[in-house]
Amino acid sequence: MPPSDTPDLTEQGDHVSEPVPLWDSTALSGLAGRVLNSARTAVVITQACGDNLIVWANTGFTTLTGYSRSEVIGRSPRFLHGPHTDAAAVQRMQTELAAGNPVTTALLNYRKDGTAFWNRLVITPICDDADKVTHHAAVLVDATADVVTDRARAAEAAVANQADRLALITRVVDAMTEHTDYHEAADAMAHAVVPELADWGFVVLFDEHNRPEHCCLAVSDASKRESDSARLVQQNLPHWVARALATQASWVYETLHAGHEDLLLPQVVDLGMLGQLVPAKRHLDALFDLGIGTRLSVPLFARNRLLGLMALEARDPDRFDVPAVVTTTLLRARVGIALDNTRLYRAERAAALTLQHRFLPSAVTVTDLDTAATYRPSGNSAEIGGDWYDVFPLGERGTMLAVGDVVGHDMSAAATMGQLSVLLRARSWNGGSPSEVFQLIAEALHGMHWNDVASVTCMRWLSTPTGGHVEYANLGHPAPFVRLPDGSVYQMSPARGAPLGLHDPKAEVGQDEMDLPAGSVVVLYTDGLVERRDRPLQDGLAALACALRSAPDGTAAQIRDHLLATLVQDKPEDDVCLLVVRERGTAVRADRRVNHVPAPLLPLDDTGKVVPARSR
């Protein structure tokens, strides 16, 4: 007899006609069949051998696919496949089923009307009493909405990751291109990359013989950047890298001898090798304090040339995941090019500076004059200008002084400056006043089809018993300043002609001449001494006048140094040439008044500006 507490399935609200006894297997089997057949979820049973022919399908299968039972019984389920069904996924599914394993997968299938849907399949092997697989039962669910949503999210994540990568690459390259110094650009790269991708890291630059020439350490944790560990590692990095380069089994050696297009792969730090390269315990302690675990080594190549190495270090062995490796791989080529561009700028600048200094006069001793000159290139190391000065004795005809500026900031400007300097010397040596020299040069340049532009001041100084007789001509150049023995400062009359290259060779070049009393100081210069982006030119000229007034009673070199310290920034915006001249052996300021001011000199007010003619 059945137990008395058997549940009655015919209670109010149930939709069955008679109670089903739980111990009646036949009745329960029929109930299960009816449940499967009436379920909305598609269910299909196939043979486990051959083409896996369908032997049973429920009404949910018809609802999902549009195929009736009569159309599918005895057929292989492959009729659901279509042109975009993943054949590899089907093959993997069949392999797992052949091994007797259950399968869960998603396939793109096609309904009877040709519409595609994502079919999420859960396939279970069915075994007989001998535990042999005879059939497969598959549950099919339309997962199109879920798959599309998942793929959309994956696509959004991919786009976001790509945007993050591009943003990082942009930030790093921008940080590098702010610097035209090769080593500073490498430092900027290290400080931009490491906080984004690693716990700490370093960049090493190699010279043309692949020897370390510069090392920069970067640490993500701000509290450790100035720590004793960081300082100790920074100090010893060049030695460790040099030692690693000489050790074939080291990671540095292997990294640099791998192809520069090879895939970057994180490596677990070999503690045994690390101990060989860094034998001192306190050095190892410093490294472990920063974080030792895994490393991503990045060789820096550009234009088939090895520039250096970047090492990214992390304590977490899983720090360098796939996105980090992909980002670093993309970054490698771009920072290599940016770094090499900076290197090429440095090489070009060095060549231009060498060329320019070759044309500037070496120390020249002039018997009657005390001279001091300097040339300072602009703070922009990517540019080199055509500023120059010259001092050369003419024997009994005095001494020729010149300062000029070729328009442009490149190798061509430096070369043109050299040509012009040589031409000026040659014409001056052949005789003639400054205006006559300019006239001959203008005619020569016109015949040479010269396409450059240069402003020049040329002055001939002839010492006299009472001081010096000065003749000067000025083509488009800032007028010199004069300080008389009583300390008063004047500006010489302005330019008398257009710059060379724009000057009409047939037009006469005017000149001025004057007698300067003993102890007078003359200052010739290029516009870089007085021009700034943040102030008018007149204010710069006034600043020069005030600085000359306050200059010490000393030699030409002392006056030059005072003017530079007062007027020139650490990194000037433009090239600066400065030439200071006074008679040798005379005091800068005599204890007497100047009774006569030479006519070509223009008086200045208390602020250093030229007094207008109507106010004189």
Domain assignment of residue 127, given as a range: 39-142
Please give the backbone phi and psi of residue 181, each rounded to the nearest 5 degrees, phi first. -85, 130
Q: Which of 331, 350, 369 is the last residue of a domain?
A: 350
CATH of the domain at 512: 3.60.40.10
Domain match, 408 and 555 both: yes
In a domain, 242, yes or no: yes
Average pLDDT of the chain, as a whole number? 82
pLDDT at 148 over 70: no
Find the range with the poorest average confidence among 111-115, 203-207, 344-348. Answer: 344-348
Domain boundary among the residues 307, 326, 350 is at 350
Span 294-348, pLDDT tens digits: 999 888 888 878 888 999 999 988 888 888 888 888 888 788 888 888 888 777 7
* pLDDT band at 13; cut points 50, 70, 90: very low
The candidate with the shortest Cα–Cα distance to 332, out of 169, 216, 532, 472, is 169
Q: How many domains does the chain have?
A: 3
Given this model, what pLDDT does residue 2 score? 44
Contacts for 84 with CB less than 8 Å, ≥ 6 apart: 108, 116
Strand, helix or coil for residue 483:
strand
The predicted structure's pLDDT at residue 247: 86
Instruction: Indicate if 346 and 364 belong to the same structural domain.
Output: no
227: Cβ contacts below 8 Å, ≥ 6 apart:
289
Inside any domain, residue 613: no
Q: How far is CA 77 from CA 72, 74, 122, in A?
A: 8, 9, 14
Is residue 325 domain-shared with residue 427, that is, in the same domain? no
- CATH number of the domain at 112, please: 3.30.450.20
Is there a contact between 182 and 343 (Cβ–Cβ < 8 Å)? yes
Q: What pLDDT score was predicted for residue 482?
A: 93
**515 domain-assigned:** yes
Q: Do the bridges between strand 133-142 and strand 200-206 make them parallel or antiparallel, or are there none, so unpaired?
A: unpaired
DSSP assignment, residue 606?
A: T
Summarised one tens digit per residue, pLDDT across range 430-485 is 878 898 998 888 888 888 888 888 899 999 999 888 888 999 999 989 999 999 98
Q: Which residue has the higher pLDDT, 386 or 385?
A: 386
**Span of 19-28, 480-489, 526-535 with lowest mean pLDDT:** 19-28
Between these two residues, 491 and 595, which has the higher pLDDT value? 491
Q: How confident is residue 47, by pLDDT bands cut at 50, 70 and 90?
A: very high
pLDDT of residue 384: 59
Q: Which of 115-129, 341-355, 430-444, 593-607 has the lowest mean pLDDT?
A: 593-607
- Please tell me the pTM assigned to this model: 0.53
Confidence of residue 357 (pLDDT cuts 50, 70, 90): low
Q: Do 513 and 387 belong together in one domain?
A: yes
CB 563 within 8 A of CB 528: no
Are residues 241 and 190 part of one domain?
A: yes
Q: 165 and 234 share a domain?
A: yes
In a domain? residue 609: no
Same domain, 528 and 427: yes
Inside any domain, residue 443 = yes
pLDDT at 262: 62
- HEC string of 564-602? HHHHCCCCCCCCEEEEEEEECCCCCCCCCCCCCCCCCEE
Of 57-66, 123-132, 599-608, least confident by mean pLDDT is 599-608
Q: Dmax over Cα atoms in the chain, in whole Å?
A: 149
319, 283: one domain: yes
Q: Residue with structure tokens 């389920």?
A: 77
Among 248-257, 525-534, 598-607, whose mean pLDDT is lowest?
598-607
549-553 mean pLDDT: 90
Question: Rounded distance, CA 277 to CA 40, Å?
Answer: 69
Q: How many residues in total does the chain contain?
A: 616
- Specify the higher pLDDT residue, 549 or 351: 549
Per-residue model confidence (pLDDT) at position 544: 93
- Same domain? For 396 and 541 the reply is yes
Q: From CA 529, how far away is CA 133, in angstroms rounded?
A: 95
* Residue 51 is assigned to a structural domain of this protein: yes
- Give the start-end residues of each E strand in 150-242: 200-206, 212-219
3-state secondary structure of 239: helix
> Quick check: is 441 in a domain?
yes
Better pLDDT: 496 or 117:
117
Examine the pLDDT at 220 and tell me if it is beyond 90.
Answer: yes
The side-by-side arrangement of strands in the sheet containing 399-406 is 386-393, 399-406, 454-464, 467-475, 512-517
Q: Is residue 156 in some structural domain?
A: no
Is pLDDT of 286 > 90? yes
Q: Is 138 found in the same domain as 167?
A: no
Same domain, 407 and 307: no
Query: Are residues 195 and 107 part of one domain?
Result: no
CATH code of the domain containing 217:
3.30.450.40
**pLDDT band for position 362 (cuts 50, 70, 90):** low
The pLDDT of residue 7 = 41
Q: Write the DSSP string, 536-561.
A: -HHHHHHHHHHHHHT--SS-HHHHHH
Burial (CB < 10 A; 0-12, 13-18, 19+), residue 149, is: exposed
Which pLDDT does position 588 carry in this prediction? 47
Residue 67 confidence class, pLDDT cut points 50, 70, 90: very high
Task: Give residue 251's pLDDT band: very low, low, confident or very high (50, 70, 90).
Answer: confident
Residue holding tokens 């005599």? Answer: 590
Element (H, E) at 447: helix 434-447
